[in-house]
Amino acid sequence: MTKYVTATLALVAALGFSVAHADGQGAFVQADAGHASTHHTGTTWGVSGGYRWTAAQSLYVGVEGGYQDLGTSKFHTVAGPTSLTDITGPHTITADTHGRNGAKAATLGLNARWDFSDRTYAVIRGGIARYRNRARFHNTSIIDDNPPVSSTYGYTLYDTRWYAGAGFGFDFTPKLSLQFTYDHYPQHYSVYGYHFTQNTDVWGTGVEFRF
């Protein structure tokens, strides 16, 4: 993503042309990619679309809906050897677990765009998100000198909560823009009586096309 942003900014500087003032009113679609910071770290991406209306001079407000992949993490843990004693006597147990965990969100909300020059603008957004967190685990356990015993299990959790974000952009043409954004996605899940919160911060770069 860094190479893409650098190349884009270099192109803007090299062209140095004057873009006609973009009309912020109307339908739009966006695509973005970025980096997530949370229990999940790595590449994220999303798509969205909506419509804005003129609220005042240089200010446009509207509605949006979209889909956001919040990243996937992999992990590996080894527990043991652990000693325990039951009715059959003392035992030694070792467990090796591989896992994969990822979150996604469907969003519906409001957005606003404020043009503070003919080519640059700021955006804010926020609304309701339906989150899905899916995890899968593969566990291999060895008890004493017995053959390994493997099992695969997982869960899928859901949460409905808010999301919010802000950013700034540059108009290449009256219909095409480059944006740099920050978005926050708070999530709260419950599984087997255990509750946990997962806050995902996404720093991204995207393009917006207006119709």
Q: What is the pLDDT of residue 45?
A: 95
Report yes or no: 122 and 61 within 8 Å, Cβ to Cβ: no
Calpha distance 201→141 (Å, rounded): 36
Give the residue with greater pLDDT, 186 vs 153.
186
Burial 89-98 (b: 16+ CB within 10 A, else e): eeeeeebbee
Q: Which residues pair with 199 in a beta bridge?
A: 186
Options 1.10.10.10, 3.40.1160.10, 3.10.20.30, 2.40.160.20; which CATH number does 2-10+24-210 get? 2.40.160.20
Higher pLDDT, 48 or 150: 48
Task: State phi, psi for 130 to the nearest 5 degrees.
Answer: -100, 110
| pLDDT, position 198 | 85
pLDDT at 13 over 50: no
Percent of the chain residues topping a pLDDT of 70:
87
Q: What is the mean pLDDT of residues 171-180?
A: 95
Q: What is the pTM of this model?
A: 0.77
Q: What is the pLDDT of residue 20?
A: 52
CA–CA gap between residue 110 and residue 204 (Å, rounded): 19
pLDDT tens-place string over residues 123-140? 999 999 999 999 888 888
pLDDT band of residue 76 (cuts 50, 70, 90) is confident
List pLDDT tens digits, range 31-41: 999 998 865 56
